[in-house]
Structure 1
Amino acid sequence: MIIIDGSEGEGGGQVVRNACALSLVTGEPFRITNVRGRREKPGLMRQHVTAIEAACAIGGAECAGLTVGSSEITFTPGRVRQGDYHFAVGTAGSTGLVLQTVLMPLLLADAPSRLVLEGGTHNMLAPPFDFIAKTFLPIVNRMGPTVEARLVRHGFYPRGGGRIEVDITPAPLRRIECLDRGAPIGETATALFAALPFEIADRMLKRTRKSLPDWLDRSFAVRELPVDQGPGVILLLEAAFEHVTEVVSGFGRLGVAAERIAATTAGRLAGYVESGAFAGPYLADQLLLPFALAGGGSFTTVKPSEHSRTAAAIIERFTGRRCSFDVRHGERNLVTIA
């Protein structure tokens, strides 16, 4: 059995999600102590419990210690079964993070599956649905499988209530290299809001225009969602290239000016564009697992995060594959999985 100290590295929920996915794929049981040991509120939260329950459901697994607040779990995998699955977080907990837990095992199953996930779709501490659909899944689909995701209903924090549907057609994962993103082909800036004044979203876009003066006027748009899908507001910035689309998001928060959120979000996107790298920080986190299960691969990225290094350590424990981070000052950083 693999024993993991959940307070090591970035010490968050990613350790739990990746361990569940890898356990189902490799058949290796594991125990995590000090679950989310570096978080302000350590232990399992509702969304982590749902993610583990989803892993148990698709993989015939058993998990001891599976309660909200638990600081230790023991996970024993079974056999992954394709099927139609419906999982509800029950709060604004991220549907995308639940998907992250079960996607790789279902990609390697014997037949197609369909997922319905309910909860948060646009959360501050997780990549929004738009990132999953436009940035991450296109790379997965280049590796062999076919994954199609649909946003049925937005779910903002703290209300939740969102819904996504995902169709998964398995295939062996093949190794790819993602070194160059190619020429730029377009960009968009969209402010989505629900059950809040229009002027908040409008102020976000006006500040974004100042931060990104080279973008065309037609690139900017405000979209109002039905009142019952809020309250919430999010700024979504997309930079599309030949081989990848980067999505950077900024969430409205009480006590934080719309202009400040917009300036920070635009600055993050500008930093990515200037880097010349293929993967932004969130995509780099997400690519490590499928690349390892494909037998290896490489990609260029911005400065590797502690999330990525922690994910790499978990991957090596289960698969023996090592992720090397070649940090090059003034150049694109190279990540290689072998």
Structure 2
Amino acid sequence: MSCSNPQLIEIDGSVLEGGGQILRMSVTLSALCGIAIKILKIRAGRSKPGLAAQHLKGLQLVRDMSGGRLRGAEIGSTEVEFVPGNIKGGEYYADTQTAGSISLLLQVALPCALFADSKVVLQLKGGTNAEMAPQIDFTTEVFRPNMEKFGGASFDLDLHKRGYFPRGGGHVTVDVEPIKSLKGVNMTVAGKPKCIHGWSYVAGTLHVQMSSQTADGAKQTFRDSLRGVNVNIESYKETTDIAAHNASGIVLVCETTEGCIIGGAGLGKRGIKAQAVGSSAAKDIVDAVSVGACVDSYTQDQLIILMALAEGVSSIRVGEITMHTKTAIYITEKLTKVKFIITEEQSTNIISCTGLGLINKNVK
């Protein structure tokens, strides 16, 4: 099935989440579906409206991958037009030149890379562990295994250097082999927590004891709420060749008896105790598990585009529908023929749709 539309479609960049997610979803679906778009009122409700460096680099990355035309692409711009071409394999480079999130650059580029005409290599620079975005470890350890359930789509990531706020400087290489299509998923039975593992880290001049304190906070929360579940959290200090600047954080992964992968994460902040950071990250998992969700609140919105592109019906049980998920559904329905149905069941919601069944004709 095709989702092409020869007419330029206007998108209000101020609705719902009102930020970078609208840009990422819009330009990615534009490139995949051959839809020309015009995004207006970009980040209109933010303290600094318009495109920031991170958003601009994401738009330019998809433009390069698809050989498209991009107008209005400059810092502070509140209006852009994008006319996509054909997604090509090759090596592509994007550098936020700030601590702007590498994971968000990958979010905009990865679906396009999966439907390229040959292998894609992404050289991405910026922040690997940044606020208001998935940590790169969350992307590889939580998002990736959930993505792989859609028929084997995956990626390899090589981390060369970590980048933290405010300096950035992180660098990863991502290799993506194109696929023929994505397959619908049925992720509606959560099962029970089987095991939990994770990583608690510090870098720069911070003492390694802080990583242990962060891990202890997570472990205590799990002992209080998920008794009897095996928890293994590695505490360590990054080497200076990988991470030269100060930072701390934690990434946690819960695997259930039904194969669900549920994550939690947190970054250290000045004035917040390390134990509290670990406890908050653990609570992300506890909250999802306690209601019977099959994915955590940070992963649910990232799966919407995969559901829309896949062949057949997809159904995923989540907890509360987040604003990012509502935004992802809104943009997807606006740019494609896919319609989502949300069914409430006690403390959970089942998100369902019949996908486009997008086919990559370059893959046999």
TM-score bin (small chain):
over 0.9
Deviation at 1:115, TM superposition (A): 1.4
The worse-fitting range, judged by mean Cα deviation, of 220-229 and 107-116 is 220-229
Q: Tell me the distance in 2 between the aligned counterparts of 1:217 and 1:297.
A: 31
**For each residue in 1:167-208, what CA deviation from the matched residue of structure 2 results, as whole angstroms up to 9, or x when unmatched?**
111111122222124453321242111011333323222322
Q: Tell me the distance in 2 between the aligned counterparts of 1:111 and 1:146.
A: 14
Q: In the alignment, which of 149, 154, 168 is matched to residue 142 of structure 1?
A: 149
Q: Tell me the distance in 2 between the aligned counterparts of 1:122 and 1:23.
A: 28
Q: In the alignment, which of 246, 254, 274 is matched to residue 239 of structure 1?
A: 254
Q: In the alignment, which of 64, 71, 74 is matched to residue 78 of structure 2?
A: 71
Q: In the alignment, which of 218, 221, 230 is matched to residue 208 of structure 1?
A: 218
Amino acid aligned to 1:174: K
Q: Tell me the distance in 1 between the aligned counterparts of 2:148 and 2:285.
A: 24
Amino acid aligned to 2:338: R
| Backbone CA RMSD of aligned residues | 1.9
Q: Tell me the distance in 2 between the aligned counterparts of 1:176 and 1:119.
A: 32
- Please say if 1:193 is aligned against 2:209: no
Q: Who is 1:108 aligned against?
A: 115
Q: In the alignment, which of 314, 328, 335 is matched to residue 345 of structure 2?
A: 328
Judging changes above 3 Å, is the alpha-carbon distance between structure 1 residues 62 and 215 closer, same or farther for their aligned structure 2 residues? Answer: farther
Q: In the alignment, which of 27, 33, 38 is matched to residue 26 of structure 1?
A: 33
Runs of 4+ that moved beyond 3 A: 181-185, 214-218
Judging changes above 3 Å, is the alpha-carbon distance between structure 1 residues 220 and 132 closer, same or farther for their aligned structure 2 residues? Answer: closer
Judging changes above 3 Å, is the alpha-carbon distance between structure 1 residues 276 and 229 closer, same or farther for their aligned structure 2 residues? Answer: farther
Q: Tell me the distance in 1 between the aligned counterparts of 2:90 and 2:229.
A: 45
The worse-fitting range, judged by mean Cα deviation, of 68-77 and 209-218 is 209-218
- Please say if 1:165 is aligned against 2:181: no
- Please say if 1:122 is aligned against 2:129: yes
Secondary structure at the residue paired with 1:126? coil
Q: Who is 2:236 aligned against?
A: 223
The worse-fitting range, judged by mean Cα deviation, of 212-221 and 49-58 is 212-221
Judging changes above 3 Å, is the alpha-carbon distance between structure 1 residues 109 and 245 closer, same or farther for their aligned structure 2 residues? Answer: same
Q: In the alignment, which of 16, 23, 27 is matched to residue 16 of structure 1?
A: 23
Deviation at 1:221, TM superposition (A): 2.5
Amino acid aligned to 2:251: L
The worse-fitting range, judged by mean Cα deviation, of 2-11 and 159-168 is 159-168
Q: Tell me the distance in 1 between the aligned counterparts of 2:189 and 2:166.
A: 38
Q: In the alignment, which of 178, 185, 188 is matched to residue 179 of structure 1?
A: 188
Amino acid aligned to 1:198: V
- Contact conserved, 1:141 with 1:147, CA < 8 A, in 2? no
Secondary structure at the residue paired with 2:299? helix
* 5+ long unaligned stretches in structure 2: 1-7, 355-364
Secondary structure at the residue paired with 1:164? strand
Deviation at 1:218, TM superposition (A): 6.5
Number of equivalenced pairs: 337
- Please say if 1:48 is aligned against 2:55: yes
Q: Tell me the distance in 2 between the aligned counterparts of 1:293 and 1:134.
A: 22
Q: Who is 1:263 aligned against?
A: 279
- Contact conserved, 2:28 with 2:62, CA < 8 A, in 1? yes
Deviation at 1:106, TM superposition (A): 1.6
- Contact conserved, 2:261 with 2:294, CA < 8 A, in 1? no
Deviation at 1:71, TM superposition (A): 1.1
Percent identical among aligned pairs is 28
The worse-fitting range, judged by mean Cα deviation, of 299-308 and 318-327 is 318-327
Q: Tell me the distance in 2 between the aligned counterparts of 1:252 and 1:110.
A: 41
- Contact conserved, 1:288 with 1:337, CA < 8 A, in 2? no
Q: Who is 2:64 aligned against?
A: 57
Q: In the alignment, which of 121, 138, 155 is matched to residue 163 of structure 2?
A: 155
Q: In the alignment, which of 335, 338, 352 is matched to residue 318 of structure 1?
A: 335
Q: Tell me the distance in 2 between the aligned counterparts of 1:215 and 1:205.
A: 17
**For each residue in 1:214-247, what CA deviation from the matched residue of structure 2 results, as whole angstroms up to 9, or x when unmatched?**
4778713211002443210002222122423222
- Contact conserved, 1:156 with 1:229, CA < 8 A, in 2? no
Q: Tell me the distance in 2 between the aligned counterparts of 1:280 and 1:164.
A: 25
- Contact conserved, 2:146 with 2:261, CA < 8 A, in 1? no
